[in-house]
Amino acid sequence: MIDFTLRINRENYDVTAMTDTPLLFVLRNNLNLKGSKLGCGLEQCGACAVLVNGESTFSCAVAASSLVGKSIITIEGVSEGGTLSVIQKAFLTEIAAQCGYCTPGMIIATTALFNKNPNPKKQDILEALQKHLCRCGSHARILAAINNMQLDHPQND
């Protein structure tokens, strides 16, 4: 076991864990941040996605101890001061979830995309969500939410 500090959702957290403990387990078990989900544990579904220095990262396979000094944002940290982000509002408006298990990862991936490119093309959106699975079939509503969010800035196909 080692002690280290992680910067999560704009706050520092002191953590004690094994050096190879996945970030997802630290988030859920040590810090009670339950928004990121364990889907496959193999970086194949995206339910565990968080932002690490602005990049969508699957937290199920990355060691928490390797993220010292980096900024981590979970789904709980996407909103600020209790105000939902534009992306979260779009998902809510479009009811872009069925069971909701994949939703945190989808929102994280979309947030990472829009942080890099505020007016992504359809292909950019599809690529950003390619590794994110929705077993309920909400992909059409998720894409509609993202498209409706961009009404002020029409996409280039």
The pLDDT tens digits of the residues spanning 45-104 come to 999 999 999 999 999 999 999 999 999 999 999 997 889 999 999 999 999 988 889 999
Residue 55 phi/psi, 5-degree rounding, is -100, 135
Nearest Cα neighbor of 65 from 31, 15, 28 is 15
Asked if 94 and 141 sit in the same domain, the reply is yes
Share of the chain above pLDDT 90, in %: 78
Nearest Cα neighbor of 52 from 31, 22, 88 is 22
**CB-based contacts of 32: which residues, under 8 Å, 6+ apart?**
none
Domain count, the chain: 2
Domain endpoint, select from 78, 104, 132? 78
**CATH number of residue 23's parent domain:** 3.10.20.30
∠35-38-42 over CA atoms, to 5°? 135
Distance between CA atoms of residues 78 and 134, nearest Å:
20
| pLDDT (0 to 100) of residue 39 | 87
Asked if 49 and 105 sit in the same domain, the reply is no
pTM of the model: 0.91
Beta partners for residue 3, in sequence order: 16
Helix, strand, or coil (residue 92): helix
Look up the domain containing 127 and give its range: 86-149
